[in-house]
Amino acid sequence: MRTEQLDDFIGELRVLNGKKTELHWRNTDGGTQKSVPAAVQNAYAEELRDMKQAAQDIPKQLTAQKERLDRLFVQQKQWPYQTWRERYFDHPLVGILARRLIWCFESNGVCQEGFYFDDELRDREGQILDGLDGLTLVTLGIGNPTA
C-alpha cells in the first residue's frame, strides 16, 4: 500500500489480489471519502495525477514481473539470501508476488522449502525458518535439483 498525506486527507493506493489497484481517501480523523476530496483536486493536482498514474501502471508492472518470475522457475536461478530479500521479498512491488510463492532456502547442501505466512518465512509444518544467513542460497520452487 502506498499512502500520501495531502493536508487533512490521506490517499491509500492498494494492490488487490496481486492484480488490480484501488485508490481510497480518508480524512485524518479516519473517516472515508467515496471520491477524491475537492480540496485535494484543487490544491494537489500533480500529486493526484501521480497517484492515478501509479494506479494504472502497477497492474501492468505486476503482469511483467509475474512473467519474469515464471521464467526464473525454469532457469533455477540462485541468489544469496540478503540479495533475494532486497530484490524480491522486501521489494515494494515484486514482493507482492514473491510472498505468494514457495522458495528453496539452501544451506550446507540442504534445502528448506519455505513460504510467507503470518509475517514470517515458514516451513511445511508452519514453523518459522531458522538459520537463514549470508551463506544461504535461495531458489524459486520446491527442492533444488543441484543440492
Q: Answer yes or no: is pLDDT of 144 > 80.
A: no
Distance CA 138, CA 12 (A): 33
Report pLDDT digits (tens) over 29-57. Answer: 888 988 899 999 999 999 999 999 999 99
Q: Considering just the CA atoms, what is the radius of gyration of the chain in Å?
A: 19
Distance, CA of 129 to CA of 113 (rounded, Å): 9
**CA angle, residues 107, 112, 117, in degrees to nearest 5:** 130
pLDDT over threshold 80, residue 146: no
**pLDDT on residue 147:** 42
Assess whether pLDDT exceeds 60 at residue 145.
no
Q: What is the mean pLDDT of residues 54-78?
A: 90
The position carrying cell 508452519 is 126
| pLDDT (average), residues 60-72 | 90
pLDDT digits (tens, 9 = 90+) for 87-136: 999 998 999 999 999 999 999 889 999 999 999 999 999 999 988 999 99
Burial class (CB in 10 A: 0-12, 13-18, 19+), 91: middle
Per-residue pLDDT at 33 = 85
106 grid coordinates: 539452501
pLDDT value for 143:
59
* pTM, to two decimals: 0.77
